Amino acid sequence: MDRAYPKNPLVGVGVAVFHADRVLLIRRGKEPRKGQWSLPGGLQHLGETVAEAARREVREETGLELERLDQIAVVDSIRRDVDGRVAYHYTLIDFAAEARSDEARAGDDAAAVAWVGLDELERYGLWAETVRIIRLSAERLAR
């Protein structure tokens, strides 16, 4: 599937995975945003619910199984090229989750993984929406 210059928005999932008051970040191994830190996630497959997609993507990218999984928000990620054409368009459904363990390993599209305290987020150059989702997720899971 060609992700660049799509004919329609692509549906993706992102998961703020927590374990012992730390959130899991991945360094993206592929475009878009290759090399940047983000939440684990990816595209939903045909016939798969968004919750199933969230669990699969976290398993593929980090090897982790999830306990609790709560839907948090829907975010549009649209990137245009220099001519104003839509180069990437994702509708992202974000979740908060708790991991059964902290034994994450980079796999699939992830180049690296890191468990990060909420007070350390600014060091990872995260997209503002990602930080917002992480903070909303931490609040939801604390309830």
Of residues 31 and 10, which shows the higher confidence score? 10
DSSP string across 77-124: EEEE-TTS-EEEEEEEEEEEEEES-S-----TTEEEEEEEEGGGGGGG
pLDDT at 1 over 70: no
Chain CA centroid to CA 52, Å? 14
Domains delineated in the chain: 10-142 (3.90.79.10)
**Which residues, at least 6 apart from 26, have a Cβ–Cβ distance to it below 8 Å?**
37, 38, 39, 40, 61, 62, 106, 109, 110, 111, 112, 113, 114
Residue 66: the pLDDT is: 96
Q: Give strand pairing partners of 24.
A: 115
Residue 55: the pLDDT is: 97
pLDDT at 108 over 90: no
The tens digit of pLDDT for each residue in 76-95 reads: 999 999 999 999 999 999 99
pTM (two decimals): 0.91
The tens digit of pLDDT for each residue in 113-141 reads: 999 999 999 999 999 999 999 999 999 99
The tens digit of pLDDT for each residue in 54-76 reads: 999 999 999 999 999 999 999 99
pLDDT at 33 over 90: no
Return the structure tokens found at 77: 């990620």
Residue 61: the pLDDT is: 94
